[in-house]
Amino acid sequence: MSSPATLRPLLEGVHRVPEITSDGLQWTVRTPQHARLAVEMVLAWAATEQRMPGRLRPCANDECRLFLLDRSRANRARWCSMAVCGNREKARRHYERTR
Ligand SMILES: [Zn+2]
């Protein structure tokens, strides 16, 4: 995982503006069009980190590009999905044991 500082260029030109809507005042994030998706991901990541610190991490399967959000009490989840990556790891270990 690279340092959060590498995300900084993505946040250039992003600002939050107050808008009056029929529901009252609302804060809207204004993002340069080309960076919208990346910025949304950064903001979602930051919000998750704030709400559940240390719970968001990459899947332990090196070939997997997914992340997992660990909601367990022990905070030891390693796989994005036990059914997919967890099982693959179990099968791999089994294969190595029985070789
Ligand atoms: Zn995975």
Rounded Cα distance between 98 and 43, Å, is 46
From ligand 1's centre to the CA of 49, what distance in Å? 19
DSSP calls for 5-51 = GGGGGGGTT-EEEEEEETTEEEEEEE--GGGHHHHHHHHHHHHHHHH
What residue segments make up the domains of the chain, in order of their start? 1-51, 55-99
pTM of the predicted structure, to 2 decimals: 0.57
Residues in the chain: 99
**1-10, 13-22, 67-76: segment of lowest average pLDDT:** 1-10
On the CB side of 6, how many CA atoms lie within 13 Å of its CA? 3
Q: Summarize pLDDT for 44-85 with one digit per residue, the tens.
A: 888 988 998 989 889 999 889 898 989 888 999 999 998 999
Examine the pLDDT at 2 and tell me if it is beyond 60.
no
Give me the residues near ligand 1 (ion), CB cutoff below 5 Å.
Answer: 59, 61, 64, 66, 80, 85
